[in-house]
């Protein structure tokens, strides 16, 4: 059941979103290589990949929120309001809040943006409300059936004592702000947003480039406040870590908005220069490697390990364990079973280096393409080395995380072969008698 739900509620919607997102970006990134950088960054170099495979509400909330933004943006470009686009925007906003309650803040921002681009606001609001009413009514029915009240949620019925303890801080575990929560959510090697996706730092100059264009100023305000609302809320949660998660999973919903900002930057005069594009590609390569390998092997980072990709994922890969994969289905054993996936990963990295070495604006100064490609590879290696620096003080903590992962690993690896010397006359482990006291 979990596999079916993942396939139809995470994987297929995420792939469909990528198709729509790719078409949407065409109007902001005129050159193909810049488009490739953003698309590969979102699809494989961010939490979008991880939670597009797992069953969480974060991914669905993100797809819905940005989908509503695209619907309202499309409506703005029309001469007359489209009832279909406005109702679709309302439906997606309602779905976002139903999938993840905290998306209500960003949904409000996007709803206000939709209101600002309507021609006939009274009728437009009615169409948005008509779209949103379906998922909201279904959510209230679920609350009534499951928790006894349309205003009650699962947070009111926690059985785990640790989770109940979280709610004793602030207001039900929310609005507890600290520098630790801000650093841990955004920069920490444990699962910080910019540690594992440093290329998303180009969102800031992208937002500035968006704001400088008068025709995109409303979109800049909408995207900026939608991202800020999520970050401000999540950083104020007492349980901001999110448990065993690859990246700050609560912020997964804003990744498409940040990728959109990066796309706008690449379409700006500054983003069309050779050096900034090479730097973006150099930051993308570590992101794709870390998210790609982590998601494929074991998409859960232990909370107590300081640098889980280098201290947990890479050693786990070194044990020879592989997940269910196409290579295993074809009969390959051990690490060889991951060759189909690793081949695609190498293709992605190569495409990033190729796209980052381009220089769309020929009037800009060097580096040339070959020099830029070498520079990207060198900076990527240096970046991976720098990111590997932080380490856990207690090796036993790392060992405990690895032991737990090995214990629950699927598929089960074959039992290790051991040679146990037996004296003549003793029964072997299979019940037979050994004719010699020497092991084979």
pLDDT in single tens digits along all 440 residues of the chain? 989 999 999 999 999 999 999 999 998 998 899 999 999 999 999 999 999 999 999 999 999 999 999 999 999 999 899 999 999 999 999 999 999 999 999 999 999 999 999 999 899 999 999 999 999 999 999 999 999 999 888 888 888 777 777 777 777 777 787 888 889 899 999 999 999 999 999 999 999 999 999 999 999 999 999 999 999 998 888 778 888 899 999 999 999 999 999 999 999 988 888 889 999 999 999 999 999 999 999 999 998 899 999 999 999 999 989 999 899 888 888 889 999 999 999 999 999 999 998 766 666 555 678 888 999 999 999 999 999 988 988 899 999 999 999 999 988 776 665 555 545 544 444 444 444 444 33
Exposure class string for 116-131: b at 16+ Cβ within 10 A, else e: ebbeeeeebbebbeeb
Q: Which two tokens stand for residue 124?
A: 């437009």
pLDDT at residue 160 in the model: 78
Long-range contacts of 418-426 (CB under 8 A, 24+ apart): none
Q: Cβ distance 325 to 338 under 8 Å?
A: yes
What residues form DSSP beta bridges with 427? 433
Q: What phi-psi label fits residue 438: left (phi over 0), alpha (psi between -120 and 50 degrees) or beta?
A: beta
DSSP-assigned letter for residue 337: G
Return the pLDDT at 429: 43
Tokens read off for 26: 């065409």
pLDDT at 411: 86
195: its two tokens: 């540690």
Residues 6 or more apart in contact with residue 410 via CB below 8 angstroms: 323, 324
Of the chain, the end-to-end C-alpha distance in Å amounts to 46
pLDDT of residue 366: 58
0.85 exceeded by pTM: yes
Beta bridge partners of 65: none
Contacts of 233 (CB under 8 A, 6+ apart): 102, 105, 174
| pLDDT for 427 | 47
Phi, psi of 433 (to 5 degrees): -100, 140
Q: What is the crossing angle of helices 32-44 and 339-356, to 10°?
A: 140
pLDDT in the model for residue 246:
92
| CA separation for the pair 240, 170 (Å, rounded) | 13
| Alpha helices for 10-82 (secondary structure H) | 12-25, 32-44, 47-51, 57-76
- Please give the helix or strand (H or E) that residue 298 lies within, else none: none
pLDDT at 434: 42
Q: At residue 403, what are phi and psi to the nearest 5 degrees?
A: -65, -40
Residue-level pLDDT at 438: 40
- Residue 433, strand partner residues: 427
CB 257 within 8 A of CB 66: yes
């Amino acid at each position: 059941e979990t596999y079916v739900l993942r396939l139809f509620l995470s994987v297929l919607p995420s792939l469909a979103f990528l198709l729509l997102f790719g078409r949407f970006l065409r109007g902001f990134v005129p050159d193909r290589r810049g488009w490739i950088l953003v698309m590969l960054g979102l699809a494989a170099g961010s939490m979008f990949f991880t939670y597009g495979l797992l069953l969480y509400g974060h991914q669905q909330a993100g797809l819905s929120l940005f989908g509503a933004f695209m619907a309202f943006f499309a409506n703005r470009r029309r001469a007359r309001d489209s009832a279909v686009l406005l109702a679709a925007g309302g439906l997606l906003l309602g779905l976002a809040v139903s999938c993840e309650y905290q998306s209500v803040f960003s949904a409000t921002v996007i709803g206000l943006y939709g209101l600002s681009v309507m021609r006939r606001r009274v009728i437009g609001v009615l169409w948005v409300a008509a779209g949103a009413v379906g998922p909201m009514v279904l959510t209230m029915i679920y609350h009534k059936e499951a928790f006894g009240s349309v205003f009650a949620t699962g947070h009111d019925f926690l059985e785990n004592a640790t989770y109940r303890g979280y709610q004793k801080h602030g207001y039900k575990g929310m609005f507890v702000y600290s520098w630790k929560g801000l650093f841990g959510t955004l920069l920490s090697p444990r699962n910080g947003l910019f540690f594992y996706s440093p290329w998303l730092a180009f969102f800031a100059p992208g937002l500035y480039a968006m704001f400088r264009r008068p025709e995109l100023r409303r979109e800049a305000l909408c995207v900026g406040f939608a991202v800020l609302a999520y970050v401000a809320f999540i950083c104020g949660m007492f349980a901001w870590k999110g448990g065993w998660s690859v990246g700050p999973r609560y912020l997964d919903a804003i990744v498409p908005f940040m990728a959109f900002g990066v796309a706008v930057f690449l379409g700006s005069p500054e983003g069309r220069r050779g050096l900034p594009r090479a730097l973006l590609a150099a930051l993308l390569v570590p992101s794709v490697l870390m998210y790609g390998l982590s998601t494929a092997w074991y998409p859960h980072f232990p909370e107590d390990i300081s640098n889980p990709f280098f201290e947990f994922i890479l050693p786990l890969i070194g044990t020879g364990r592989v997940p269910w994969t196409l290579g295993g289905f074809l009969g390959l054993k051990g690490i060889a079973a991951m060759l189909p996936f690793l081949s695609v990963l190498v293709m992605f990295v190569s495409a990033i280096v190729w796209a980052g070495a381009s220089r769309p604006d020929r009037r800009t100064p060097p580096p040339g393409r070959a020099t830029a490609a070498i520079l990207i590879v060198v900076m990527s290696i240096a970046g991976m080395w720098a990111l590997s620096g932080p380490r856990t003080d207690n090796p036993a903590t790392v060992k405990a995380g690895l032991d737990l992962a090995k214990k629950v690993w699927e598929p089960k690896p074959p039992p290790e072969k051991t040679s146990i010397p037996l004296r003549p006359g003793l029964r072997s482990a299979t019940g037979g008698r050994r004719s010699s006291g020497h092991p084979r």
